[in-house]
Amino acid sequence: MSSSLTIGVAIAVPQPHATVLANWRRRVGDPAAELVWPHVTLLPPTPVDLDDLPAIEEHLTRAAESRPPFVMHLSGTGTFRPTSPVVFVQVARGVGDCEELEASVRTGLLDRPLDFPYHPHVTVAQEISEEALDEAYTGLSDFVARFPVDHLVLFSRGEDRRWQWRTEFTLGGADRLSD
């Protein structure tokens, strides 16, 4: 009998921005600050059969190669409240690129329904007190980051619930980033 693994696929926010966002998560008491790298989700947590991992990695290689690199611009905060107790940093530029990558990733072996319509963002506070959510929302309202996106990352969740950086897949389709 084969074992299973929970995976996720994301665009990892690079340093120094990742540290700023993780520190804010810690500051407001979000326990996920120690478990997950700041990211824009392309595939939410998904259980897969370990035997399928080579085919999944081939699929992700093709999905990444099908999309060109792009520039992502994060700016300000948003929230899913009252539907969901989440505060996030908004993707101000690169939304369409994320949507196209997500559509490429979430096919074949990784085709699965979503709980909510896809909306690219970087979660900075989740399922904590209203006051702490407000602190994250206000405290990061002026946050701005701009960086090139040239790869996506396959993460896996360990028994300790921490997400581990597993494999990077390089975006293709263009020789250079467009501004």
Q: How far apart are the C-alpha atoms of 53 and 5, rounded to whole Å?
A: 9
pTM above threshold 0.95: no
Structure confidence by residue, pLDDT tens digits, 127-164: 899 999 999 999 999 999 999 999 999 999 988 889 99
Structure confidence by residue, pLDDT tens digits, 74-110: 999 999 998 899 999 999 999 999 999 999 999 999 9
Model pLDDT, residue 177:
42
Query: Using 50, 70 and 90 to split pLDDT, how confident is the model at 23?
Result: very high
Model pLDDT, residue 174:
47
The CA distances from residue 113 to 23, 45, 103, 134, in Å, are: 32, 12, 12, 30
Alpha helices in 39-115 (DSSP H): 53-65, 95-105
With 0-12 / 13-18 / 19 or more C-beta atoms within 10 angstroms meaning exposed / middle / buried, residue 179 is: exposed
Q: How far apart are the C-alpha atoms of 39 and 163, rounded to whole Å?
A: 11
Contact (CB, 8 A) for 146 and 80: no
Q: How far apart are the C-alpha atoms of 40 and 146, rounded to whole Å?
A: 14
Model pLDDT, residue 1:
53
Q: Is there a cis peptide before residue 82, judged by omega within 30 degrees of 0?
A: yes
Q: How far apart are the C-alpha atoms of 137 and 142, rounded to whole Å?
A: 10
